[in-house]
């Protein structure tokens, strides 16, 4: 059989499993997830051995230290993966929730009820924990999952998927509820994207190239977890001490995260007083500054920014600096360079803040707070599948509720039209 035929077959198996999951009670799903967590712990030696082989191969290929770190599993990290599954068990099951109820004049009762989406395809890179996190969240929401991870983590992902399947089988749920595509060929991505009617939704998690490939080939809806080119705008009426704390946190607490700031915009009216102090603080944190022509006079240690810098998700200790003409200048810059992820303003002016929050087109907009809070756990949603930068179905942190659709259940007493 061809690669396309093999992928279609495993998608058909996932589709059949999804029919069972759709009517599986919450208690049974939770029992299965607890069995999955236990299976991961029991199989830890085999999983770690598979990961060690992946790491050795990645080192031989010359992958960067950051990529090696993202790939590496340790006993502590593996225990954390199992614990994350148990945390999902503790979250409320969204399936069956009544979103709203209407009682019509003719006596019909109409309930809008959350239901599983069906089969969710997820294509991702690097981190092996995504295999388990994704499968566990989708299972809790009643969905089957077809996973395609990066080739650099193939052995690790396979071992983790086998542990997941073993846990499902032990709890009496179909092993096919989680399917890992067993191919590292690039052709596997468009092959998955062609499975309309079997995969209901596909979610790419990765860099620009991966997202572009999925969007071009998908024959089903796509929710993009795209790059986070996030901005912090420091207004003329900002508390500058607060602004400095927010910028440092947004850039330095975890620069490789998609919710880290990549550009700071400063109102021209305070640039001369604020930027030199901010630049010195950031330099002490080993942040490489790239300043525009307007910002460079106030940051002599910075490198001149290129036009491409402002459209780049650095994911590193690199920060762009720009001076803008007030709120209008900040809004224009964000509209031109933002990725729709997370944007922040620091200001004491209520009217300025409200206009910023209303005008900026992004999943998450902040006043006087760091962009680093864009996270399901920080929002109180619990675990998440990622941060959607799309506008339809799900936007921002994708928790369990965002992994469901809905149907209308109508109850009558013999009404006819």
- Read off the CATH number of the domain in which 170 is found: 3.40.605.10
Q: What is the mean pLDDT of residues 381-409?
A: 91
Mean pLDDT computed over every residue of the chain: 95
pLDDT in tens, 97-123: 999 999 999 999 999 999 999 999 999
Which distant-in-sequence residues (6+ apart) come within 8 Å of 305 by Cβ? Answer: 290, 291, 292, 295, 320, 321, 322
H helix intervals, 127-239: 129-140, 154-170, 188-193, 208-217
Alpha-carbon span 32 to 27, nearest angstrom: 9
SS (H, E, C) 12-53: HHHHHHHHHHCCCCHHHHHHHHHHHHHHHHHCHHHHHHHHHH
Q: Per residue in 142-159, pLDDT tens?
A: 999 999 999 999 999 999
Coil/strand/helix, residue 163: helix
Q: What is the CATH number of the domain that holds 358?
A: 3.40.309.10
Q: What is the pTM of this model?
A: 0.89
370: CB partners within 8 A, 6+ apart = 232, 246, 249, 250, 253, 261, 344
Which residue reads 């969240």 in tokens?
Answer: 137
Are 209 and 250 found together in one domain? no
- Whether 417 is covered by a domain: the verdict is no
Q: What's the confidence (pLDDT) of residue 386?
A: 86
Distances 95 to 51, 112, 138, 239 between C-alpha atoms, Å: 35, 12, 11, 45
Among 225, 250, 267, the domain-final residue is: 225
Q: Are residues 237 and 206 in the same domain?
A: no
271 lies in some domain? yes
76 lies in the same domain as 160: yes
Number of Cβ within a 10 Å radius of residue 363: 20
Instruction: Report how many helices (DSSP H) and strands (DSSP E) the chain contains, helices first.
Output: 13, 16
Do 239 and 343 lie in one domain? The reply is: yes
Q: What is the pLDDT of residue 253?
A: 94
**Separation between Cα atoms, residue 40 and residue 73, nearest integer Å:** 12
Measure the CA–CA gap between 341 and 396, rounded to whole angstroms: 7
Q: Stretch 58-71: mean pLDDT, rounded?
A: 89
207 and 284 together in one domain: no
What pLDDT was estimated at residue 66? 74
The percentage of the chain sitting over the pLDDT mark of 70, rounded to a whole number, equals 100
- Residue 167 above 90 pLDDT? yes
Alpha-carbon gap, residue 8 to 6, rounded angstroms: 5
Single residue among 204, 225, 246 that ends a domain in this structure: 225
The answer to which of 44-48, 65-69, 289-293, 343-347 has the lowest mean pLDDT is: 65-69
The domain total for the chain is: 2
Q: Is residue 379 part of a domain?
A: no
The CA distances from residue 213 to 73, 124, 190, 191, 222, in Å, are 28, 12, 8, 11, 11
For residue 404, being part of any structural domain is answered with: no
Q: How far apart are CA 305 and CA 226, in angstroms?
A: 23
Same domain, 255 and 365: yes
pLDDT band at residue 209 using 50, 70 and 90 as cut-offs: confident
Give the separation between CA 155 and CA 52, rounded to whole angstroms: 9
Q: Is residue 392 part of a domain?
A: no
pLDDT tens per residue across span 333-345:
999 999 999 999 9
- Domain membership flag for residue 275: yes
Same domain, 63 and 159: yes
Rounded Cα distance between 398 and 411, Å, is 31
**Which residue, of 225, 243, 268, is where some domain finishes?**
225
Both 171 and 267 in one domain: the answer is no
Same domain, 29 and 147: yes
One-character DSSP codes across 279-323: HHHHHHTTPEEEE-TTTGGG-TTSEEPPGGGGG----SSEEEEEE
pLDDT score at 372: 97
Between CA 323 and CA 310 the distance in angstroms is 13
Domain that holds residue 304: 230-373
For residues 55 and 112, state if they share a domain.
Answer: yes
CA 12 – CA 318 distance, rounded (Å): 45
Instruction: Please tell me whether residues 218 and 241 are part of one structural domain.
Output: no
Considering the domain boundaries, does residue 8 fall inside one?
A: yes
Distance CA 402, CA 372 (A): 21
Same domain, 310 and 244: yes
Q: What is the pLDDT of residues 116-129, one digit of tens each?
A: 999 999 999 878 99
Residue 189 lies in a domain: yes
């Amino acid at each position: 059989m061809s690669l396309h035929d093999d992928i279609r077959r495993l998608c058909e198996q996932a589709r059949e499993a999804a029919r069972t999951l759709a009517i599986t009670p919450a208690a049974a799903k939770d029992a299965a997830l607890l069995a999955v967590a236990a299976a991961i712990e029991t199989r830890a030696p085999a999983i770690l051995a598979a990961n060690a082989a992946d790491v050795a191969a990645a080192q031989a290929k010359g992958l960067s230290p950051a990529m090696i770190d993202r790939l590496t599993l340790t006993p502590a990290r593996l225990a954390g993966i199992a614990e994350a599954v148990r945390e999902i068990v503790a979250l409320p099951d969204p399936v069956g929730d009544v979103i709203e109820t209407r009682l019509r004049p003719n006596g019909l009762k109409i309930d809008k009820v959350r239901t599983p989406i069906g089969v969710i395809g997820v294509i991702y890179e690097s981190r092996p924990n995504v295999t388990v996190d994704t499968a566990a969240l989708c299972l809790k929401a009643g969905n089957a999952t077809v996973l395609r991870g990066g080739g650099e983590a193939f052995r690790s992902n396979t071992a983790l998927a086998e542990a997941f399947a073993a846990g499902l089988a032990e709890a009496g749920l179909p092993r096919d509820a989680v399917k890992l595509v067993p191919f590292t060929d690039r052709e596997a991505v468009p092959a998955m994207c062609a499975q309309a009617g079997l995969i209901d939704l596909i979610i790419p998690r990765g860099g620009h190239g991966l997202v572009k490939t999925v969007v071009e080939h998908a024959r089903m809806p796509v929710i993009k977890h795209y790059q986070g080119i996030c901005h912090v705008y420091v207004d003329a009426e900002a508390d500058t001490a607060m602004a400095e704390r927010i910028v440092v946190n947004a850039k330095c607490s975890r620069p490789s995260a998609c919710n880290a700031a990549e550009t700071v915009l400063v109102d021209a009216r305070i640039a001369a007083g604020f930027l030199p102090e901010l630049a010195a603080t950031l330099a002490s944190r080993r942040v490489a500054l790239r300043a525009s022509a307007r910002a460079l006079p106030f940051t002599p240690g910075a490198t001149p920014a290129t036009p491409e810098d402002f459209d780049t998700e650095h994911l590193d200790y690199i920060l762009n600096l720009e001076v803008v003409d007030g709120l209008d200048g900040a809004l224009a810059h964000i509209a031109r360079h933002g990725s729709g992820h997370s944007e922040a303003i620091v200001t004491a002016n209520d009217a300025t803040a409200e206009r910023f929050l209303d005008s900026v087109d992004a999943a998450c907009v902040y006043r006087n707070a760091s962009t680093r809070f864009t996270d399901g756990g920080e929002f109180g949603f619990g675990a998440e599948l990622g941060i959607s930068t799309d506008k339809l179905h799900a936007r921002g942190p994708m928790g369990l509720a965002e992994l469901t659709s809905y149907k209308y259940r109508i109850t009558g007493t013999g009404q006819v039209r």
